Amino acid sequence: MVNHRGVINLVNHFQQTFKPPIGNYNTCQNARLSFDASTLEIWYNLLSGAKIYFTPENILLQPNKLRDWIIEKEIREILLVTPIAEMLFEQKFPADCPFKYLYLGGIL
């Protein structure tokens, strides 16, 4: 269980480190709710005013579709497990894509 103080400390750390544009960006949620990283994906982004999209599970292992979805939803940051991130970065992104941050963690 993650206590309230732990969530607030996590959110404060990420807000100070990554300085999100409060209330003006899109992000997504990929981690299973049983995985502690979901705490970061949900609370950091909600408390920063972001709009959260739930990544369709059927595109996570299809890098070209995942890239297209990231571009379409104008996702700024994403948390992925390393094997999926490696597949994603074999894809080309347009220069004006707002995708700025990739957080790595977990196992597949």
Per-residue pLDDT of 59-75, as tens digits, reads: 999 999 999 999 999 99
- CA atoms of 72 and 55, how far apart (whole Å): 12
Question: Averaged over 79-83, what is the pLDDT?
Answer: 92
Distance of CA 67 to the CA centre of its chain: 13
Quick check: 108 pLDDT over 80?
A: no
The CA distance from 61 to 94, in Å, is 21
Q: Could you tell me the domains of the chain?
A: 4-104 (3.40.50.980)
Percent of the chain with pLDDT over 70: 95
Report percent pLDDT > 90 for the chain: 54
Mean of per-residue pLDDT scores for the chain:
89
Per-residue pLDDT at 31: 84
